[in-house]
Amino acid sequence: MGRRAVAAVGQRGHVVCRQNASQTSNRDKTNQSDQRGRTFRRTGETAIVMWPKTATVLLLICCLQPQNHVQRCQAHPLVVCFQEETYDDVTVRSRSIIWPCENNSDCKAENSHCSIFGYCQCPAGYVFSTDVTRCLPESAYGVACQEAVQCSHMLTGARCEAGVCTCDSDYTYVRGRCRKLVDLGQPCSDDIDCFFSHNREAVVCHRGSCECADGFYRRSSNVCRRRVTNGEECLVHQDCDGENLQCVNQVCTDAAQAQTKTFRDAAVQTAEAAEKPNETEGPPSKAVGPDGPEMRDAETNTDTGNGKRVQINTKRSASDCERCRKFGDPCLDEGVECPEVPYSVCRMGQCHCREGYYNKGGRCMAEIGEYAHDGQYCEADMKYSNGRCVCRNDQFYEPNMRACLKPALGIGTSCTQQSQCSPYGAYCPSVSPKRCTCYPYAEYDEARQLCVEKDGYEAYCERDADCKLANTRCSGEHTCVCKTNYFFVDERCKAVKGAECETESDCAFDEAVCRSASGSDDGEGSVAPSEPKQCHCKPGHFYQASNNRCLKEAEQYGDECSVDEQCQPLLGELGRCSDGKCQCNENEHHFKDGKCNKKVALESRCSKTSECFVEDEQDNVECRNSACQCKFDYSPDVERQKCVRPSGKNSSDRPSALKVITLMLTSAAVLITGSALRDAYYA
């Protein structure tokens, strides 16, 4: 980890110091000491602080008075120090407020005070707000925040989003900060580099690669679970290591010997428990012997012989503890653990908790997976095992690493965090209903109690080249899907109407032909060999794009159908599929001249004869002079919408006298006219 510090002006007109002390030129440079014995180095008008190895803040700015060449040190009103540190090859710029003071009254920010080093600071666990007017609490992962500076202690990848401190999507909170972890099989340098899913003990960095730890098995692509035996906690059958063992009610049970307990069994167990009322489950509160190690390393609680060590007194009386140093108390040895405060570090003159530990009632408590010399440094819902605070095997870590979660009991059951669904290879959706769900590229295998990745169609992918099935692409959900104009049919991505094909079997619908666009319907037209073929419906069939199918067109009125389009080639655009048959809507239309036409009443405007409608004898009406009228020799009955032929017979059913006379006169006129024409011709 690399570190350098530069200072910037906090108020208008203040001196700016932006050079590193190690890079300052030798010109016009002298060493000075202030009244508290702190060493600084000045260059011209600007002073540069001499940074001790353990220092993390700029303490004082001193200036040379050029008028009389008298050196005078004075407290600078406000300077902001930006400290750059490198984590995981990423440079992070953090901020410290440099506000020299003589007493608390000099510190104007709300809840700030003057430290023993003579500069204003917030209490331990608090930071200055962006405008340096108040002290805001540092927010843990998942805790509410007002400004991003409250999340800055988690360093790179941390942010205040929607009023909550969180990590970027590709970062995981562990050991006090957001870290970019690597998957199983990926290169690593330390155990903490490896993504652990739900159990810090589950993965190790072995020979430069992340893998499951001893006693764990690889459950799915990136999840390792502990192997357990008869009577231990479990979630899936595969957790149980032994013949005939199955996970029943979250306990590994011998399936061959399992039987329902009787009331007598329960009574015996109750009696045994009553005889030992003081015994509790789980390991003893101390993992070390009665004497215990006198000295421990701040990281592993073991005596390494290197660096400063402190003695842990585990048998203090109540009166002694009143005088014990605790979180937030002043300290002098920067970067060293505060005496009597296990898992602390002296930072900026105050006792803070180390990364991976947090303050609770003045004590630095261990986050899940971190070392502790005593179970009292673990939360009550945690399990103390092998010197670590851990969760039970059927529980999971909260993302803030400070509590254990109850398990989700299978696919489709309620969940709140991703880790709860990890034993099943599933995920917990971010929106309700939140239930363990297989990823789009996986399907649930009941026998294995696991979401298993699919092959071919809907397989996982990162890019199009990852999809091996013909005519597929990689979707935004990282699954292989059919390309545009292709449907998944019979385990293949087949072409829709108009898409390219080689044979009919390449088409995604029945009643299809594979032919050239310019060829004949039977595919035997004369076309260029290089012209691609396309999927089309056979003649006499209609293509329904919404369902990707060819439907037979109606051949006569009343043929069976499922959609209107089957009827319209025969009946026209007004044809309908009603009650499963091709017909006209009799309320508004009528069938005439082989088509469905709108009904136009007598004496109403029309555009063609087929529109004109009468109740009987449709042939007796016509569209004449843009109006529906009865044909000649027929009389309209508008009220009954009929065309009526006048009666040609009298009441005696004999021809009337008027009609006989009319016929006789007409015949005589014809004869006379014919005779006159003949005489004129021969004359």
Report in angstroms the alpha-carbon separations of 190 from 79, 88, 204. 38, 12, 8
- Mean pLDDT: which of 95-104, 276-285, 313-322, 524-533 is highest? 95-104
Q: What is the pLDDT of residue 517?
A: 74
Q: Does residue 302 carry a pLDDT above 60? A: no
* pLDDT band, very low/low/confident/very high, at 332 (cuts 50, 70, 90): confident
Q: How far apart, in whole angstroms, are the C-alpha atoms of residue 441 and residue 453?
A: 6
Mean pLDDT of all residues in 32-44: 37
How crowded is residue 262: how many other Cβ atoms within 10 Å of its Cβ? 9
**Higher-scoring residue by pLDDT: 225, 682:** 225
Largest CA distance in the chain: 164
* pLDDT band, very low/low/confident/very high, at 58 (cuts 50, 70, 90): very low
Tokens of 470: 């013909």
Q: Give the percent of the chain with pLDDT over 90.
A: 31
Residues 6+ apart with CB under 8 A from 24: 41, 43, 48
**DSSP assignment of 184-227:** TTSB-SSGGGB--TT-GGGEEEETTEEEEPTTEEEEETTEEEE-
Q: What is the pLDDT of residue 188?
A: 93
**Higher-scoring residue by pLDDT: 191, 154:** 191
Indicate the range of 2-11, 408-417, 609-618 predicted with least confidence: 2-11
> Which uninterrupted H or E stretch holds 513?
strand 512-516
* pLDDT band, very low/low/confident/very high, at 245 (cuts 50, 70, 90): very high
Q: What is the pLDDT of residue 655?
A: 57
Are 228 and 236 spatial neighbours (Cβ–Cβ below 8 Å)? Answer: no
Peptide bond into 284 cis (omega under 30): no
* pLDDT band, very low/low/confident/very high, at 95 (cuts 50, 70, 90): low
- Mean pLDDT: which of 85-94, 539-548, 571-580 is highest? 571-580
Q: What is the pLDDT of residue 638?
A: 80
**DSSP assignment of 92-147:** EEEEEEE-B-SSGGG--SBT-EE-TTSBEEPPTTEEE-TTSSBEEEPPPTTSB-SS
Tokens of 431: 């929106």
Q: Does residue 565 carry a pLDDT above 70? A: yes
Q: What is the pLDDT of residue 654?
A: 52
- Mean pLDDT: which of 35-39, 71-75, 153-157, 494-498 is highest? 494-498
* pLDDT band, very low/low/confident/very high, at 242 (cuts 50, 70, 90): confident
Q: How far apart, in whole angstroms, are the C-alpha atoms of residue 127 and residue 112?
A: 9
Q: Does residue 308 carry a pLDDT above 80? A: no
Q: Does residue 258 carry a pLDDT above 90? A: no
Dihedral over alpha carbons 442, 445, 450, 453 (to 10 degrees): -30
Coil, strand, or helix at residue 258?
Answer: coil
* pLDDT band, very low/low/confident/very high, at 159 (cuts 50, 70, 90): confident
Q: What is the pLDDT of residue 532?
A: 86
As a whole number, the mean pLDDT across the chain is 76
**Higher-scoring residue by pLDDT: 25, 605:** 605
| Length, in residues, of the chain | 683
Are 588 and 614 spatial neighbours (Cβ–Cβ below 8 Å)? Answer: no
Mean pLDDT of all residues in 79-100: 53
Mean pLDDT of all residues in 420-426: 91
Indicate the range of 55-69, 189-203, 456-470 predicted with least confidence: 55-69
**DSSP assignment of 413-458:** SB-SSGGGGGGGTEE--SSSS-B-EE-TTEEEETTTTEEEEPSSTT
Tokens of 129: 């707000």
Report in angstroms the alpha-carbon separations of 500 from 22, 538, 570. 71, 16, 30
> Which uninterrupted H or E stretch holds 179?
strand 177-179
Dihedral over alpha carbons 45, 51, 55, 59 (to 10 degrees): -20
Q: Does residue 584 carry a pLDDT above 80? A: yes
Q: Does residue 410 carry a pLDDT above 60? A: yes
* pLDDT band, very low/low/confident/very high, at 587 (cuts 50, 70, 90): confident
Tokens of 246: 């199955």
Indicate the range of 266-280, 501-515, 542-556, 625-639 predicted with least confidence: 266-280
Q: Give the percent of the chain with pLDDT over 70.
A: 72
Mean pLDDT of all residues in 180-191: 92
Q: How far apart, in whole angstroms, are the C-alpha atoms of residue 140 and residue 162?
A: 15
**Whether the predicted model's global pTM rises above the 0.85 cut:** no
In eight-state DSSP terms, residue 555 is: -
Coil, strand, or helix at residue 272?
Answer: helix
